[in-house]
Amino acid sequence: MRHLICFGNDLHGDDGFGPAVCRRLAEQPLPADVRVFEAGTRGLDALALFEGCDEAIVVDAAEPAGQPGRLAFPDAEICAEDSSLPGHGAGVGYLLRALSALGTPPRLRVMTAEAAALTPFQPGLSPPVETAVEEAAQVLRGWLGAERV
Amino acid sequence: MARVEINMGLNRVEGDLEIGVTLEDGVVVDARTIGTLYRGFEQILVGRSPRDAMVITPRVCGICGTAHLYAAVLALEQAWNLPVPANATRIRNLCLMAEGIQNDLRQTFLFFAPDFCNPRYQDHPLFAELMAAFEPFKGGLHRETLRVTRRVVEIVAHFGGQWPHSSYMLPGGVVTPPDERRVLACRAVLDEARAWYERRVIGAPLDEWLALDSAESLFAWLEAPARAASALGLMTRFTRSLDMHRLGAGIPHMISFGSWCDPLQPGSHLLPAGFYDGDSGRVQALDQARINEHVRHSWFRPYAGGRHPFEGETVPDFQPGGDRYTWAKAPRYGDRVVQTGPLAELLIAGDPLITSLHAAEGGNAWLRQFARVRRAGVELLRARRMLDELAANLDAPHYLAPPPGSERDGQGCGMVMAARGALGHWVKIKDGVVERYQIVTPTAWNASPRDSSGEMGHWERSLIGVKVRDPDDPVEIGHLIRSHDPCLVCTVHMLGSGRKLRFAP
C-alpha cells in the first residue's frame, strides 16, 4: 500500500494547499494500492496514517521564501529536523521525528508548495498556490503511476 | 525594586492560549491566562438538530473527543429520559479510560518530563539518567511512550471506528456490540500497556502500587532500586529536588463530576463526584445547580455576575484596550474558584495515597503530576474490569432504541471526568432544535480568568510567588504550566523583551 497524507488548514490561506491537493486527487482515478488522507492539523494521532503502507507521501505548505507556489521535494530527514512548516502547532516536523523514533518508518517522500504569505483565518489560496495545486496533482499522479489507471 | 511588565501581543497563529506574567525582583506578582481563540462551538449548535452535537462536539478537542461525545450523549439522554443498557455504559467507560491513559502518559512523558533535559540541569546528579529516559525522540521512555500511546487508542477504534473525533455513542447506547474478537483485541492492547506501565513507569506490579495508602509507605516503597529507577521514581526524585512539592498549589478548592458512570446503577459513578472545600478540608456532594460562568473579564457580550449554563450564552464581543483579556469564561462553583483534574478526581474519590500526600504537603505541582501517573494505573485496572464484564455479558443489549415521541423539548446536562478534569455539556431543546448549548471544559475551570469579583483563576493563582532565576529561560514557569496539562499550545510571555516561549502539545 501507498499512503498520500495531506496536511494543512483550509482556514489559513495558503496553508490549505495540502487539503486542496487531496481534493484534486480524490476527483481522479488512482491505482488500487493508493489511499489518500486529508490529515488537517492533526498531531501525534496522525502516526496511525503512516502504518500499513510501504511508502508514505507527505504533502504540506512551506513557509514563504520569495517564490510563492514553488514546489519543493525536501528530504524527509531534513523536514524532521526543521519543524518550521507553518500552522500546525507542534508541526509536521515533530510528527516525522516521532515516526523515525518509533523504528522503521515506511519510505517517505515529501512535497511542499511555498506559501505566498501567512494569512490566518482567511480562507482561500493565493493565485500562485492555486496554480501549484494542479501542478502538484500532476507530479503526484506521475509518482503514483496514475496515468496508467 | 525591579518591576517588569509584560509586552503582550495576541498572536492567533502561535498559540491558542497565552500566559502573561509580571515579575518583581524575579518573583511572579501577577499572572493572566489568555485564551486567544474564539471557538464558537456552542453558537454552531444553536438551531441544529440535537443529535448533531454527537458529531460536532467531539471536534472540540483532538485529545479528549470521547469525553465530549460522552457528555453530549448523557445530556440528551437526560433531556429525553432514556435508559442506557449496562454494556453501552461499559463500552463508553472503556473508551474514555483508553483516551485517559493515552493523555496521562503522553502528558507526563512527552510534554512534562522533557523539560528536565534543559541544559540548566546539566550539573544535577540525575541529569544523565534524565537524558537517557526523557530526551525527546532519543530517551527510552520518550520513544516507548510514543509507541504505547499510539496503540492504546486502538481500543476506541475497535468500538468507534476511529480515534480521535469519533461518533459511536448515541442516545440509548452505542453503535457497536461487544463480541469476542473485539474484547480479545482490546485485552491484548491493554495487557501490553499494563505490562509496560508496570515494568517502566512504576517498576512494580499494578496491584502493589495501587495498594499504597500513605505518604510514608510511598516514600519507603520508592527506595527499592527497581522503583527508584522507574520513570515515576526518577521523576519524583528529580522534581522534589527542585522543591516542586512546595510550589504551584493554586486554588485549594476542587471539583470532580465523578468518573465513569456505574453500568448497573444509573446516576452513580465508579469514583464519586464532589466538591472539595479547601477551607474545611471536607468533600461535599456536588450540586450542579451551583455552577455558573462569569464574563466580566472576557470578550463576550457582558452580563452581570455569573449565569448557570442552562441560562448561559456565548456571544463574542471583542473589546480591546480595557480590562477584558480572554476568550475564555470564568466558571465558578457558587462563588468559589476551583481546580479540576486527576488530583481533584482522586482526592474527592478518597484515594488513600493521594489523600495522605495532600494532607501532608497540600496541593502542589509535583502532586498534580504524580496524581496523573497514578490515575493512569487506576484506568488500566478499571478498563480491564470493563472488558471482563463485557466478556461475561456478550449477549446483553448495547442499545435500546428510544421509543417514538421520546425526543421532546426540554433540557439536560451531561457531566463526565475528561482527561483534564470536569467537563459538562448543557443543552436546551425547543421546537425540536437546540435553543441553547453550553460547554464548560476542564481548561475553562483551570485556566479561568478573573471573575466578577476580581478573583483569579487556578493557573493564575498557582504562578504567584514563583521565583524565576533566569527570565530569559524561565524553566520554573514551564514546569508549573505543564503540570497543569495545558490543553492548547500555550505561549508564555515574559518581560518586555518581546520574547515568547512555547509550551505545546
Which residue is it, cell 540548566?
B120
A122 touches chain B (CB under 8 A): no
Please tell me whether residue B334 adopts helix, strand or coil conformation: coil
**B38 to chain A: closest CA residue:** A121
CA distance A85 to A83: 6
Model confidence pLDDT, tens digit, residues A84-131: 443 334 568 778 888 888 888 899 999 999 999 878 788 999 999 999
CB of B159 closer than 8 Å to CB of B94? yes
Residue B190 near residue B384, CB atoms below 8 Å: yes
CB of A86 within 8 Å of any CB in chain B? yes
Whole-number Å distance between alpha carbons of A105 and A98? 10
Compute the nearest-CA separation of A138 from chain B (Å): 31
B25 pLDDT more than 90: no
Please check whether the domain covering A2-148 is classified as CATH 3.40.50.1450: yes
DSSP label of B374: H
**Of residues B12, B142, B146, nearest to A121 (C-beta):** B12
The more confident residue out of B286 and B477 is B286
Give the tens place of pLDDT for each residue, A37-79. Answer: 999 887 778 888 999 999 999 999 988 888 999 999 988 877 7
Q: Is 90 exceeded by the pLDDT of residue B473?
A: no
Cα–Cα–Cα angle for A38, A44, A49, nearest 5°?
Answer: 45
pLDDT computed for residue B497 by the predictor: 34
Cα atoms found within 13 Å of the Cα of residue B268, Cβ hemisphere only: 6
A 56-85 residues with CB < 8 A to B: none
Task: Using DSSP bridges, classify how beta strands B274-277 and B306-307 pair: parallel, antiparallel or unpaired.
Answer: unpaired
Instruction: Write out pLDDT tens, residues B335-357.
Output: 999 999 999 999 999 999 999 99
Distances (CA, A) of B301 to B36, B173, B240, B313, B333: 16, 37, 44, 8, 21
Is A22 a residue whose pLDDT tops 80? yes
Domain-by-domain residue ranges, chain A? 2-148
Round to whole Å and give the CA distance between B269 and B271.
5
Buried b (16+ CB within 10 A) or exposed e, B341-361: bbbbbbbbbebebbbbbbeee
Q: Which residues, other chains included, contact B393 with Cβ-Cβ below 8 Å and sequence gap of 6+?
A: B86, B87, B178
Put simply, whether A121 touches B (Cβ < 8 Å) is: yes
CB contact under 8 A, A47 and B146: yes
What distance in Å separates the CA atoms of residue B256 and residue B339, rounded to the nearest whole number?
A: 9
**Do residues B343 and B354 lie in contact, with contact meaning Cβ atoms separated by under 8 Å?**
yes
Count the alpha carbons within 13 Å of B48 in the hemisphere toward its beta carbon.
16
Confidence of residue B437 (pLDDT cuts 50, 70, 90): very high
d(CA A79, CA A86) in angstroms, rounded, equals 12
Mean pLDDT across chain B, nearest whole number?
91
Domains and CATH numbers, chain B: 38-456 (1.10.645.10)
Q: Does B39 touch chain A (CB under 8 A)?
A: no
Compute the distance between CA of residue B449 and CA of residue B459 in angstroms, rounded to an integer: 9
Which one, of B251, B301, B290, B232, lies nearest residue B457 by Cα?
A: B251
Q: Do B146 and A89 touch (CB under 8 A)?
A: no
Quick check: B19 pLDDT over 90? no
Residue B12 has pLDDT above 60, yes or no: no
Q: Is B26 on the interface with A (CB under 8 A)?
A: no
Closest CA in chain B for residue A86: B13
Single pTM value for the model: 0.89
Record: contact A102-B143, CB cut-off 8 A:
yes
Q: Are B249 and B363 within 8 A, CB to CB? A: yes
* 8 Å CB contact of B62 and A43: yes
Contact status, residue B420 vs residue B442, Cβ threshold 8 Å:
yes
B318 touches chain A (CB under 8 A): no
Distance (Å, whole) CA B113 – CA B135? 8
Secondary structure of B89-149 as H, E, C letters = HHHHHHHHHHHHHHHHHHHHHHHHHHHHHCHHHCCCCCHHHHHHHHCCCCCHHHHHHHHHH
The complex's ipTM? 0.72
CA contacts within 13 A on the Cβ side of B244? 26
Question: What residue in A sits closest to B151 (Cα-Cα)?
Answer: A48
Q: From its phi and psi, is residue B267 left (phi > 0), alpha (psi between -120 and 50) or beta?
A: left
State the cell numbers at A138: 500532476
Determine whether the interchain pair B137/A121 forms a contact, defined as Cβ–Cβ distance below 8 Å. no
